[in-house]
Amino acid sequence: MKLTEMTVNAYMDLLNSDAPAPGGGSASALCGAQGAALVSMVAGLTVGKKKYADDWQLCSDVAKKASDLKSEFIVQVDKDTEAFNLVSAAFKLPKETDEEKAARSDAIAAATLVATKVPFETMELTLKALALTKSLIGHSNTNAASDLGVSALNLISCMKGAWLNVLINLGGLKDQAEADKFRALGKEMVAEAQREADEIYEATLDILK
């Protein structure tokens, strides 16, 4: 059964167990899904309200895009665990002969690259979701303003958690140039996300004063 097909309680029990997966990568993607869903909800709560008629088109567009992102984050929840399982399986390959050792090494490298790319994809989705959240500041139902702040908090947790999962795999990449590229781009993405999340959170506090 996929993680995203479990009940909340069953997922939490599995996360709480000694099973090696799901772990931080899947949990981070779930934070992203919650953040995107909250954005879509706030946008939906704005459309149709006469007070915000000028923002209906924006919110209608944001609601659809955020809902699509939520679905993409949900896919990442299972992809991250699948990537971990791929790495785990590669390490269990036989290594008695030189041929087996070479095949095992190649399998580990390939699996590690996948395990790096998956959380990096989650980071890319997070920036898109933060941009949508930010676009609603001052253009959405103020009764749901706190939900935009919570969205930002979920999304920055997603970004930083996914980044940690990228970093833990970089040492296993054979291509150092590729590892350096992931590291450089990732640092920039985390910094951008932090700026966006802080701005959204502070704007939310101002609305709630």
Q: Which of 107, 134, 112 is nearest to 42 (CA)?
A: 134
pLDDT tens digit string along 188-208?
999 999 999 999 999 999 999
Query: Which parts of the chain are beta strand (E)?
Result: none
Q: Which of 196, 186, 184, 190 is nearest to 129 (CA)?
A: 196
Question: How confident is the model at residue 209, as a pLDDT?
Answer: 87
Question: How confident is the model at residue 1, as a pLDDT?
Answer: 78
- Please tell me what DSSP assigns to residue 49: -
Token pair in block for residue 38? 């909250």
One-letter amino acid at 179 equals A
Provide the whole-model pTM.
Answer: 0.94
* Phi-psi sector, 146: left (phi>0), alpha (psi -120 to 50), beta: alpha
pLDDT at 30 over 90: yes
CATH architecture observed for domain 22-208: Up-down Bundle (1.20)
Distances (CA, A) of 61 to 41, 50, 81, 196: 12, 17, 31, 20
pLDDT tens digit string along 113-145?
999 999 999 999 999 999 999 999 999 999 999
Q: How confident is the model at residue 20 (pLDDT cuts 50, 70, 90)?
A: confident
State the average pLDDT over residues 41-63: 97
pLDDT tens digit string along 145-173?
999 999 999 999 999 999 999 999 998 89
Question: How confident is the model at residue 21, as a pLDDT?
Answer: 85
User: Over the chain, what is the mean pLDDT?
Assistant: 95
The domain locations on the chain are 22-208
